[in-house]
């Protein structure tokens, strides 16, 4: 699947970082190619979401480097990262509640207003349930639909890399499968995906690459399938 001869889309090398000078990440390495789905799993407090936020420039990288298409991007502000093709979907507060679904999506393409029409069609294609809800305020939607709006908003800017922070948190199993399904579809359309997940087994099942973090460091790094098959990983991180 991965095209090893080209450079990775995202290349994080020995990343140390956290809020202020306190480090939560103590040397994380991640390489993700353009056509891959990467999943970060691990116990609570392992630094999973912290790593995602470090990639999106939301907290300080004190040591190491993060490269996007070979260009260093660590400590660039989020709006510049959006311009360089990165999209981020936070776990909470990831929609504009009083704006309609359509307006939420339009805001995603704020920097590329000429693309709105084309991208709206594409996003409605990924998330058909949003079509009939498009004139409803996003705050009135269910959790799963809201997650679709949030992912759709990020997709509107045509990112080459989409970061998802626990996209299935608090969703019913039915919605969880639907979201994972969409993630695969979006990836198939040529968007690299890096996501943090609590539902580790289901997430690793769709992952090209899995990163098991513990105490701010890589514990295991392999393909999703290999990690699922590894008895050590299963015993310590996937609940047997």
Partner 1 sequence: MNELVFFINNVVIAGSVTGSIYAIGAIGVTLIFSIMRFAHFAHADMMTFGAFMVLLLTTLFPAAGASIGVPTALVMLPLAMLLTAALAVGIDKAFYKPLRFHGVKPIVMVIGSLGVTLMLQGLIRLFSGTGGQSLYVDDRKEIFRIALPIEGVRAPIVITEPQIYLFVITLVAVVALHLFLNRSRLGKAMRAMSDNPELAQASGINTNTIVAVTWVIAGGLAAIAGTLLSLDVTFKPDLSFFLLLPIFAAAIVGGVGHPYGAIAGGFVVGFAETLAVFNWHVLLRPFRDSLPTWLELPSNLAFVSTEYKIVVPFFILVAILVWRPTGLFKGKVI
In this complex, which beta carbon is closest to partner 1, that of residue 95 or of residue 196? 95
Report in angstroms how near the CB of residue 227 gets to partner 1 at its nearest.
30
For residues 121 to 140, the per-residue mask of contacts with partner 1, x marking binding by CB under 8 A and - elsewhere, is: --------------------
Sheet with 60-68, edge to edge strand ranges: 25-32, 10-18, 60-68, 71-72
In this complex, which beta carbon is closest to partner 1, that of residue 108 or of residue 210? 108
**Contact present, 14 and 46 (Cβ < 8 Å):** no
For residues 75 to 114, the per-residue mask of contacts with partner 1, x marking binding by CB under 8 A and - elsewhere, is: ---xx--xx----x-x--xxxxxxx---x--xxx-xx-x-
Report in angstroms how near the CB of residue 122 gets to partner 1 at its nearest.
17
In this complex, which beta carbon is closest to partner 1, that of residue 139 or of residue 173? 139
Reported residue count of the chain is 240
Report in angstroms how near the CB of residue 78 gets to partner 1 at its nearest.
5
Contacts with partner 1 in 178-217 (CB under 8 A)?
A: none
Measured torsion, CA atoms of residues 97, 101, 107, 109, in degrees rounded to the nearest 10: 150
Stretch that binds partner 1, among 74-82, 124-132, 166-174, 216-224 (CB under 8 A): 74-82
CA distance 196 to 49: 6
For residues 145 to 164, the per-residue mask of contacts with partner 1, x marking binding by CB under 8 A and - elsewhere, is: --------x---x-------
Report in angstroms how near the CB of residue 97 gets to partner 1 at its nearest.
6
For residues 7 to 46, the per-residue mask of contacts with partner 1, x marking binding by CB under 8 A and - elsewhere, is: ----------------------------------------
Sites of contact with partner 1 (CB under 8 A): 56, 78-79, 82-83, 88, 90, 93-99, 103, 106-108, 110-111, 113, 153, 157
């Amino acid at each position: 699947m991965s095209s090893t001869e080209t450079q990775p889309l995202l290349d994080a090398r020995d990343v140390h970082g956290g809020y202020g000078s306190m480090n939560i990440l103590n040397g994380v390495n991640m390489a993700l190619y353009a056509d891959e789905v990467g999943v970060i799993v691990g116990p609570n407090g392992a630094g999973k979401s912290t790593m995602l936020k470090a990639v999106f420039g939301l907290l300080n990288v004190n040591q190491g480097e993060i490269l996007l298409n070979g260009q260093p991007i660590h400590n660039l502000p989020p709006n510049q990262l959006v311009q360089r093709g990165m999209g981020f979907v936070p776990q909470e507060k990831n929609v504009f509640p009083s704006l309609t679904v359509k307006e939420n999506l339009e805001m995603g393409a704020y920097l590329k207003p000429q693309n709105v029409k084309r991208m709206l069609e594409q996003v409605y294609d990924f998330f058909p349930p949003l079509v009939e809800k498009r004139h409803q305020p996003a705050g009135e939607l269910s959790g799963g639909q809201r997650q679709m709006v949030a992912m759709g908003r990020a997709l509107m800017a045509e990112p080459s890399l989409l970061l998802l922070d626990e996209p299935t948190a608090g969703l019913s199993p039915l919605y969880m499968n639907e979201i994972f399904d969409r993630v695969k579809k979006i990836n198939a359309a040529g968007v690299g995906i890096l996501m943090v997940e609590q539902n580790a087994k289901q997430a690793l099942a769709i992952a090209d690459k899995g990163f098991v973090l513990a105490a701010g460091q890589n514990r295991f790094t392999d393909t999703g399938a290999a990690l699922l098959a590894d008895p050590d990983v299963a015993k310590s991180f996937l609940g047997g």
